[in-house]
């Protein structure tokens, strides 16, 4: 990971707001990291660099106009395949695309977009979030970045979330956690996983019941 993306998230947010760096700078570093590592790590079900570049440019335009849309403005963020997002298919780790209502922004994704956060894509997960090892027979399991030789578990069910952070393609990763599905991947990959108090963030359908966030140390 580059020195730029290794900086604390709060420091990056401050640098973005003061226009010391641009959202496009961050994103291009994230894209380069993904292109360097994804063939081995398999973090994403859907990687969307073109969409992300447009979002980063929108965030930079808002910064240039003196507009602050929120603390995640311009920050590269991956989202678990369990989250509904406009224009992106949702499989929930299964081999079948979910109905159209799962392609409409849920409240958390809507708030990310409102803040002009930069969504990098949808990360792999255990089928229907039922499992803690990260295995998926339909899409393959993301590889734990800490072992270049053996294919070790990245944890689950938010398996791709922790891997996306460690490969440096996202600075924030949305996952879900009912019984450890964020905390287990965080422990396995060496990131920080937080299960927020139920009700603190909206869990309105079509979103999972418990929403959490994993961030870099």
With 0-12 / 13-18 / 19 or more C-beta atoms within 10 angstroms meaning exposed / middle / buried, residue 94 is middle
User: How large is the angle between the packed helices 23-41 and 159-167, nearest 10 degrees?
Assistant: 120
CA–CA separation, 217 and 201 (whole Å): 22
Q: Kindly name the residue from 78, 80, 122, 153 that is annotated as catalytic.
A: 80
Residue indicated by tokens 């999972």: 208
Residues 6 or more apart whose Cβ sits within 8 Å of residue 205? 101, 106
Q: What are phi and psi of 7, to 5 degrees?
A: -70, 150
User: Would you call 164 a catalytic residue per the annotation?
Assistant: no
Contact call for residues 174 and 198 (beta carbons, < 8 A): no
For residues 60 and 140, what is the distance between their CA atoms, to the nearest angstrom? 36
Q: Which of 78, 164, 176, 181 is catalytic?
A: 181
Catalytic residue among 78, 153, 154, 157: 157
31-62: burial string, b at 16+ Cβ within 10 Å, e else: bebbeebbeebbbbbbbbbebbbebbbbbbeb
Annotated active-site positions, please?
80, 157, 181
């Amino acid at each position: 990971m580059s020195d730029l993306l290794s900086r604390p998230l709060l420091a990056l947010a401050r640098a973005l707001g003061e226009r010391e760096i641009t959202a496009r700078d961050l994103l291009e570093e994230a894209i380069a990291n993904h292109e360097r590592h994804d063939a081995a790590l398999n973090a994403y079900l859907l990687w969307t660099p073109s969409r992300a570049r447009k979002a980063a440019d929108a965030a930079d335009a808002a910064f240039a106009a003196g507009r602050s849309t929120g603390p995640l403005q311009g920050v590269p963020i991956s989202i678990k395949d369990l989250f509904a997002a406009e224009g992106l298919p949702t499989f929930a780790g299964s081999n079948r695309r979910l109905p159209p209502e799962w392609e409409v922004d849920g409240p958390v994704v809507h708030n990310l977009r409102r803040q002009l956060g930069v969504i990098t894509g949808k990360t792999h997960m255990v089928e229907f979030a039922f499992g803690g090892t990260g295995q998926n027979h339909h899409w393959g399991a993301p590889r734990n970045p800490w072992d270049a030789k053996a294919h070790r578990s990245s944890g689950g069910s938010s398996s791709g979330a922790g891997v996306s952070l460690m490969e440096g393609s996202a600075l924030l990763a949305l996952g879900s956690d009912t019984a450890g599905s964020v905390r287990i991947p965080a422990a396995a990959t060496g990131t920080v996983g937080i299960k927020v108090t139920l009700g603190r963030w909206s869990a309105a359908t079509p979103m999972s019941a418990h929403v959490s966030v994993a961030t870099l140390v």
